[in-house]
Structure formats: C-alpha cells, structure tokens
Structure 1
Amino acid sequence: MSSILTNTSAMVALQTLKGINASLSSTQNEISTGKSVATAKDNSAVWAISKVMEADVNGFKAISNSLSLGESTVSVGRQASETVTDLLTDIKGKIVAAQESNVDRDKIQTDINALRDQITSVVGAAQFNGLNLIEGTDDVNVLSSLDRKNDGSVSASHITVSRQDLTSGAGTFGSTGLTAAAYGTVNGATASDFTSDAAGKVAEITFGVASLAANDTYEVSIDGTTLSYTAAGTETAADLASHFVGQINALGLEGISATDEGAGVINLVNTKGYETVAVTLNSTSDANLEITDLNGGGAPTDGDVGTIEQRASTIDFSTTAGVNEGDSFKVTAGGSSFNYIAGRGETMEDVAKGLKTAIDSNQPDGITTRVQQDATTGQWKLAVDDANGDGTSTTFSLAVSAGGTASGGLFGLDNIDVTTNEGAAAALDNIETMIQTSIDAAAQFGSVQGRIETQSTFISNLTDALKTGIGSMVDADMEEASAKLQALQVQQQLGVQSLSIANQAPQSILSLFR
C-alpha cells in the first residue's frame, strides 16, 4: 500500500543517514583529538581510569624534579666530605712530621692551622639552595615515590639522607642529670688511686721457703721473658729474692723494675701507662709462692700466677646502655673537667674517643689518654694516665647528663697543637678518628647519591610506562580511523541518495490521478 501520509522508506533512510552521520562525527573527533576516549561520554570507565593515571604521571614529574634537587644536594655534601678527607690527610702528614723532635714545629703548626681554616671554609660553603648536609644532625627527606594501593589510597615515600656533621664545635653540655654508673664504671676514682699511681703499679712476690735444697729450680717469667735459678742448697729465700732482683733489672725491660724488700720479698713495679704485665712463678720444690696484686686490693692469686695492672686509671663504658643525641659526658681528671656531647647514632666507642679528644685538646701537665677495647667482651675503655704523681688531681670521675647540643664530628680539630711532644703524640691518635669520620661521611653520601640516581631512573621509566598504558586505553588508532572515515563518507553519500529516492516515491501516486 502506498501512502502520502507515511513514507516508511524515507523514515528508514533518514534513520540510517542519522546513524552514519553520528559515526562520521565520532570518527572525525577521534582524528581531530587523537583519542578514542576524549570525554567521559565516550567511555566513562576507561576515561576515569585514564584520568587517575594522568594525575599520577603529573605527580611523578614533580617527584623527578625532587630527586634531581636531592641528588644535587647530596652530590655537594659528598664532594665536600671528600675534600675534607683530603685536607685531613694533609694535616696527618704534618702531624707525622712533627713526631720528630728535630723539626720546626711552630712552622708545622702554622701549616696545620691553614689547613684547618680551609676545612672550616669548605664545611661552611657546602650548601645547595641553602641546605648544608655536613652541618647539624637533623635528617633530610627526599621525595622519592608516590605509592597507590588497591583501595585507592595514596602515600608518599622518601629517601632519608642522614646529615654528617663535619663541624668542629664543642657542643653544649646538657642540664638533665643522669646516673653516671649506668654508662660507665670508674676504676681509680679516688685521689690516692689516681695521683699516687705515677710511681707505677706494684706486684709483690713472696718466696715462702725457709731454705733451698740443692738443685731446687725456680723460675720467674715477666712479660714473656723467663728467668731461672738452680739452688746449690746453701741459699735462703732472701738470697733467692736478691738474685732475681738483679736478673730482672739487668734485662732492661721498658717500664719494669724490681726492688728487694728483704725477707724473700720482691716488689715488681710497672710504670707502663697502658699495658698490663703478666708475671708467673714456678718451683720444682715448693709451691708456697705468692704474687700479691696490689692493684686488685691485696688479695693473693692462685699460688703462682699474677699480673701487674697498667698504671692508667680507666672508665669502663657500658656494653648495654644506649647513647642518645645530646647525652653529655664529663670526665674530671688532673684537676680539670672535659666534656663531650654525643651526636645522633653514636656509640660508646664514639663517646670514649670523644672524651679522649676533649682531654687531649687541653692536656693537663703529665696527663695522657688512650682508648682501648676489651678483645673478649668488646667493652670500650678510656684510660687516663698521670705520669707526674704531683697530687694536682683530687678526683677521677664521670658525670652524665641529657639534653645537650652535640659536639661536631671533627671535634678537637681546632685544638690540635704539635708544638709539644705530648700534643704531637695525642694529635696522631685523634687525627685518625677525624679522617675516619670524614671518610664515613663521604661513603654515606655516595651510597645515598647512588640510590637517588637509581630511583630517578626508575621514576623516568615508570612515567613512560604509565604514559604508554594511558595511550593504549584512550588513544585513537589512526589507521583504523582513516579507513573508517572513508567508509562512512561513502555510506553517507549512499544514505543521501537513498533518502532522495525514498522522498521521490510519493510522486508516482500523482500518475494515478492524470
């Protein structure tokens, strides 16, 4: 049936043409924008995912800038630490030269002062954008990543850069008192112990025999050297003691001497400041021999073995107590007090070495120091020796407080003085500690710089991967879009012709009325 009111063919052709035009418009948008999903209307789910990822890409661009800034800052700290290490090595060379008495120590000291001032200059200038990593103790965080979880939550990650203080300041002693015994035990804490030991530590050997039988053999071993005597049978204990006194003194052992106290008693004296001397007695006929270790309070040993303790008094630091930043340690010796304030992450080893440096920086007459570690327990000890015995010291003590400002990592550098024998000897020990501090600082910065470089490369690769992923979701396939455009243009032309034909169909009805 034909109708002039309803042209079904035209309606179908029109709808087809509308669909072609819509597809053609969509394809033209893909070509013009380069995206198959340009708006949420195109594909809301894909569009939402792509926008979240695009936000992350922008965040990673900011992270890349942060890593570049952090890497540059750490690089400055590393180069400054390496320069300080080289300058400290030069100072060590000067100190070694000063160990010889027949040199102009005043001129050497002038050179050391110049190198010290240069170190101060390097430390002060080692900043990037106002941030100096070799001054102070506060950590610096470098933004390194943006972490998104499955639930959509986002958190930032950081690379922590620990400051490596290479200043030489003395710090500020804390005001909150702590129990010193929790940090260290003082051996030689009384005035008599500390000031009278200059004469040396003493061990007493007692030969407990009334008379000697023929061919009786006696041995005295001192510091690894063994002396022996075979009796003729007519000697007394006093004769035996007198004989060994002569033999011991004839050895010429450094720091060891013997005196005959009579009645078969020998006093062995150890004037070595920092060495314990072993003494052993043996006899073929009589085990009634004693070594009384006076340093240990007068108690006899197990018959025939003993030691003469070192002359120096010690502070034996705890193997269990922790050290916090700002913990302040004060040693009183030689009539003066010496302070060291611990920095972040330091140990009892650092405290012992810091206190040694403090004492060496302002040495009282006759006072020398040494840091020792027990080979068995690992305990660190600060040994302080008084070679004068002039009674100027009334106490040898340790005090501890909290809440101070840490001493610089190169504490003691400002007080290196090689113009005296004592100062030159002390400087040789202390410069090694300072060199190790600067080496550790450079190594720390080098490690962190390498990590930042690795993270920066990863962030760059990750950003590229995210961009590729976003593109695969929303970018248009231009080859496909081009082919589709040409096909739709042909369809559009055919659709127009179909609509034209459909619109002409009612004209045939007029022929029925002619």
Structure 2
Amino acid sequence: MSSILTNTSAMVALQTLKGINANLTKTQDEIATGKSVASAKDNSAVWAISKVMEADVNGFKAISESLSLGESTVAVARQASETVTELLTDIKGKIVAAQESNVDRAKIQTDINALRDQITSVVGAAQFNGLNLVSGTDDVDILSSLDRASDGTVSASNITVQRQDLTSSAGTLGTGTDLSANATLSAATATNTGNSVTLTIATDADVSADAFEINVGGATLSFAAGEITGDQDAAATAINNAINALGLVGIEASVSTNVVTIASTRAFEDVAVSATKNGGATGVTLSDTTIAERAETLTFSASATVSEGDGYQMTVGGTAYTYVAGKGETFEDVARGLKAAIDGGGNADITTTVTQNASDQWVLKIDNNGASSVSLARAGAEDGTASGGLFGLGGIDVTTNAGAEAALGNIETLIDNAIDAASAFGSAEGRIETQSNFIGKLTDALQVGIGSLVDADMEAASARLQALQVQQQLGTQALSIANQAPQSILSLFR
C-alpha cells in the first residue's frame, strides 16, 4: 500500500543517515582531540580510571620536583662533610708536626686556628634553600612517593635524611632524670702517687751460690751464681740498684732490708713483673705480678642505653666538663666527648684516654701528674641540648707537650665523625637519586597506560572516517530516492 502521509522508506533512510552522521561526528571528535574517551559520556568507567591515573601522574611530577630539591640539599651537605674531612685531615698533619719539640708550635697553632675557622665557615654556609643538614639534630623528611592501596586510599612515603651535626657546640646538661648511676667513678681524688709491688728475698745467710732473674716491664735482669755475695739483704740491695740503673721511665725501686719495693707512676700502662731464684719461685716472693696503671677511671654501664639529650659531666679539680649525646650515639661517644672536653681544659697535669674493659664497658681514664691531688666527681641527666659532632675542635691546643699529645687522639675522633657524616649523606643521596629515576620511569609507564585507555587509534579512525563519509553520501542518496516515492502516486490520477 502506498501512502502520501507515511513514507516508511524515507523514515528508514533518515534514521540510517542520522546514525551515520552520529558515528561520523564521533570519529571526527576522536581525530580532533586524539582521544577515544574524551569525557565521561564516552565511557564512564574508563574515563574515571584515567582521571585517577592522571591525578597520580600530576602527583608524581610534584614528587619528582621534591626529590630534585632534596637531592640538591643532601648533595650540598655531602660536599660540606667531605670538605670538613679534608680540613680535619690538614689539621691532623699540623698536630703530627707539633709532636716534635724543636718546632714552632705557636705558628702551628695559628695554622690550626685558621683551618678551624674555615671549618666553621663551611658548616655555616652548607645550606640549600635555607635548609642546613650539617647543623642541628632534627631529621628531615623528603616526599618520595604516593602509595595507592587497593581500596583507593592514598598514603605518602618519605625518605628520612638524618642531620649530621658538624658544629663544635658544647651542648647543655639537662635537668631531667638523674643518670649518674650509669657512670661509676673509681675514686673521689686523683693523685700523682703510683702503684707498687714488693719483692721479698727469703732469709738466706749466703746467696753467693744463687742465680736471680728479675723482669720489670719487659726489661730483664739476670744475676748468675756468684755475682751477688752476702745474705738476703745484699741480694735485695743488688736487685734494687740494678732496677734503678735501667732508667725505666716511671719505674723506681727502693729497698728495706730484704724487701724491694718496685713502684710505677706510668699512666694508662700496667707493668708486668716476675722474679725467680735458681730458675724457680722458691726463695723470692712477689706481692703481685702486675703493677697497676696510675689513673682513676669513669666506667660506663654495659647495659644502659644512650638517648639523644643524655648528658654526662666530669668535674676535675673544681672545673666541670660536659658532653651531651646526640642521636644514635653510644657510651663510646660520651667517653670520647668527655675526654675532648677535659683535654681542652688547659690543665697540663691532667691527661686522659678512652678504653674498653674486659666486660665491654667503655672507660674514661684520668691521670694526674701534678704535685697536688685533684678532686673528681661525676653527674648525669636527661633532656639536655646535644653537643656538636665536632665538639672538642675548639679545645685543640698544640702549644704544650700535653696539648699536642692529647690533640693527636682527639683529632681522630673528629675525623671519624666527619667521615661518618659524609658517608651517611652519600648513602642518602644515592637513595634519593634511585627513587627519582624510578619516579620518572613510573610516571612514563602511567602515561602510557592512560594513553592505552583513552587515546584514539588514529589509523583506525582515519579508515573509519573514509568509510563513514561514503556511507553518508549513500545515505543521503537513499533518503533522496525515498523522498521521491510519493511522486509516483500522481500517475494514478492522470
């Protein structure tokens, strides 16, 4: 049936043409924008995923900038630490030169002061954008990543860079919990009196047939049979005179009838003693086989721990010397810090050393070589202000023998601290660089992933455009033909 009111063919042709035009418009949009999913209406699920990933990409770009800033800051600190290490090494060279007694120590001290001032300048200038990692103790967090969990929650990750304090600040003893129980002092007074052992010759009316061998501090005295004539008192006198004739530094013997007292005033050095008569111990008696070193000790606990701000104080002859621990330090650091403080006090009669005993406890030893005894006391407290990593640098004074000798030990501690700081910064810088490279690669991978989701396939779009243009032309032609159909009805009425 033909109708002039309803042209079914035209309607079909029109709908077909509309569909072709819609597809053509979509293809042209893909070509114009380069995206197959340009808005949520194109594909809401894919569009939502791509937007989340684009937000992450923008975040990672900001993180990359943060890492670049952090890497530069750490690089400055590393360079400063390495420079400080070199300057401290130069100071060590000056200190070694000052060990000779025929050098101009005043001029050497002037050079050391200049190098010390340069270290202070380097530490003060080692900042990047106002952040100085070689001053202070607070850690610095550098934003390194954004971690998205499976439930969509996002958390930030940081690379923590520990400050390495290379200042020479003295620190301040706190007023917190008393820590004095962690340090045991051997005596309340240090004197110049040495320690001794006694050698007793057994009663013998005639020692001319006896052979004696005495060993004091590695020096051996031998008396063959017949070299000593007389009784036990004569033997004691001969042994006494022979020991004194050795001229051993800090070793002196005295005799009373048949007893020889061997005294040592050597600081920080035990003296081994042995004695035999006719190859055996019979006939000679030693009160001990070792003359103990002359020094008082401050022994630190093997079980207690050290926290940042824990301060310990040693009072020598009425003058208090303080060291306050920084982050991650141990009792070894505390002992060496107190040594540096005491050595820098300018008392030529007081010498110190740091050792570790058989119980793995760190021990600060203090020797008094002066004519008068000095009082000793110790204290400790929490919540102090930490001493700088180069504490003791300002107290280096090589103008005296004692100062030059003390400086030789203390400079090693300072060099070790500077090396540790440079090493820590180098490790942190390497980690930041690795993370920065990873973030760059991750950003590229995310961008590729977003592209695979929303970017248009331009080859396919081009072929589709050509096909749709042909279909549009054919659709237009079909609609034109369908619109001509009612004209045939007029022939029925002619």
Q: What is the TM-score normalised by the length of structure 1?
A: 0.90
- Superposed, 1:337-352 pairs within 5 Å as 337-352=320-335
Say if 1:203 and 1:291, in contact at 8 Å, map to a contact too: yes
* C-alpha distance in 1 between matches for 2:301 and 2:59: 49
Pairing partner for 1:360 from 328, 335, 343: 343
User: 1:220 aligned to 2:203?
Assistant: no
Task: Give 2:464's aligned residue.
Answer: 484
Aligned counterparts of 2:409 and 2:304: Cα–Cα separation in 1? 26
Q: How many residues are paired up?
A: 492
Q: Deviations over 1:111-139 (max 9, x none)?
A: 22222222211111111111111111111
The one-letter amino acid paired with 1:110 is T
Moved more, 482-491 or 10-19: 10-19
Match of residue 307, structure 2, among 304, 324, 337 = 324
Q: Distance in 2 between matches of 1:417 and 1:226?
A: 39
Q: 2:261 aligns with which of 250, 255, 267?
A: 267
Q: CA deviation at 1:289?
A: 5.2
Please, which of 360, 366, 386 is the counterpart of residue 384 of structure 1? 366
Deviation at 1:222, TM superposition (A): 2.6
Question: Structure 1 residue 249 and structure 2 residue 249: aligned?
Answer: no
Aligned equivalent of 2:140 = 140
- Deviation sequence 1:393-437 (CA, Å, 0-9, x none): 1x3222111111111111122222222222222222212211221
Pairing 1:443–2:443 present: no
Question: Which moves more between the two structures, 51-60 or 2-11?
Answer: 2-11
Q: 2:297 aligns with which of 311, 314, 317?
A: 314
Alpha carbons 2:30, 2:456 under 8 Å: kept:
yes
The aligned counterpart of 1:71 is: 71
Secondary structure of the residue that 2:267 maps to in structure 1? coil
| 3-state secondary structure, aligned to 2:432 | helix
CA distance in 2, matches of 1:501, 1:116: 101
Partner of 1:91: 91
How far did 1:212 drift?
A: 7.1
C-alpha distance in 2 between matches for 1:285 and 1:65: 81
For residues 36-435 of structure 1, the aligned pairs below 5 Å read 36-181=36-181, 183-187=182-186, 189-191=187-189, 194-195=190-191, 198-208=192-202, 218-229=212-223, 236-262=231-257, 264-282=258-276, 284=279, 287=282, 290-293=285-288, 306-374=289-357, 376-391=358-373, 393=374, 395-435=375-415
Could you say what secondary structure the match of 1:178 adopts?
Answer: coil
Q: Which stretch has the larger CA shift, 217-226 or 402-411?
A: 217-226
> What is the distance in 1 between the residues matched to 2:328 and 2:264?
38
Shift of 1:229: 4.4
SS in 2 for 1:390: coil
> In structure 2, do the counterparts of structure 1 residues 360 and 49 end up closer, same or farther at CA, with 3 Å as the change threshold?
same
Shift in Å at residue 239 of structure 1?
A: 3.6
Once residues 177 and 207 of structure 1 are traced to their aligned partners in structure 2, the CA distance between those partners, rounded to angstroms, is 56
Look up the SS of the partner of 2:142 in the other structure: strand
Question: Which residue type is aligned with residue 203 of structure 1?
Answer: V
- Distance 1:286-1:490 versus aligned 2 partners, 3 A rule: closer
Report the alpha carbon displacement of residue 204 of structure 1 after superposing the two structures with TM: 2.0
2:229/2:235 contact within 8 Å kept: no
The 1-side partners of 2:166 and 2:32 are apart by 61
Residue aligning to 1:301: none
Residues 334 and 367 in structure 1, CA contact (< 8 A), matched pair in contact too: no
Question: Alpha-carbon deviation of 1:150?
Answer: 1.3
> What SS does the corresponding residue of 2:322 show, helix, strand or coil?
strand
* In 2: Cα distance, 1:252 partner to 1:116 partner: 41
Give the AA of the match of 1:250.
A
Partners of 2:54 and 2:15 in 1: how far apart? 38
Q: Is the 8 A contact 1:327 1:403 kept in 2?
A: yes
Q: Which amino acid aligns with 2:136?
A: G
Contact 1:369 1:382 in 2 (8 A): yes
Structure 1 residues 449 and 278 mapped into 2: Cα distance closer, same or farther (>3 Å)? same
Q: Distance in 1 between matches of 2:207 and 2:107?
A: 67
Distance in 1 between residues matched to 2:104 and 2:207, nearest whole Å:
63
Is contact 1:336–1:364 with CA below 8 Å preserved after alignment? no
Q: Distance in 1 between matches of 2:41 and 2:283?
A: 107
Distance 1:250 1:139 in 2: 62
1:216 deviates by 5.6
Cα distance change, pair 153–282 in 1 and its aligned pair in 2 (3 A):
farther
Q: Please provide the CA RMSD for this pair.
A: 2.2
- The alpha-carbon deviation at position 365 of structure 1 amounts to 4.2
3-state DSSP of counterpart to 2:287: strand
Question: Can you list the C-alpha shifts for 1:255-286, whole angstroms capped at 9, x where unaligned?
Answer: 22222132x32211111101111223445565
Contact 2:341 2:395 survives alignment (8 Å): no
- Give the whole-Å Cα distance in 2 for the aligned partners of 1:494 and 1:504: 15
Percent of aligned pairs sharing the same letter: 63
Question: Secondary structure, in 3 states, of the residue corresponding to 1:396?
Answer: strand
Q: Specify every segment of 5 or more residues in structure 1 that has no aligned partner in the other structure, as ranges.
A: 294-305
Equivalent-residue separation in structure 1 for 2:470 and 2:352 (angstroms): 100
Quote the Cα distance in structure 1 between the aligned partners of 2:356 and 2:71. 38
Q: Which is further off, 349-358 or 114-123?
A: 114-123
Which secondary structure state, in structure 2, belongs to the residue aligned with residue 108 of structure 1?
helix
Asked if 2 retains the 8 angstrom alpha-carbon contact of 1:211 and 1:234, the reply is no
More moved, 457-466 vs 279-288: 279-288
Mapped partners of 1:308, 1:36: distance in 2: 93
SS of the residue 2:274 aligns to: strand
- Alpha-carbon distance in 2 for matches of 1:199, 1:477: 96
Greater shift in the superposed pair: 452-461 or 417-426: 417-426
214-223 or 170-179: bigger deviation = 214-223
Counterpart in the other structure of 1:296: none
User: Residue in 2 aligned with 1:507?
Assistant: 487
> Which piece of structure 1 moves more, 72-81 or 223-232?
223-232
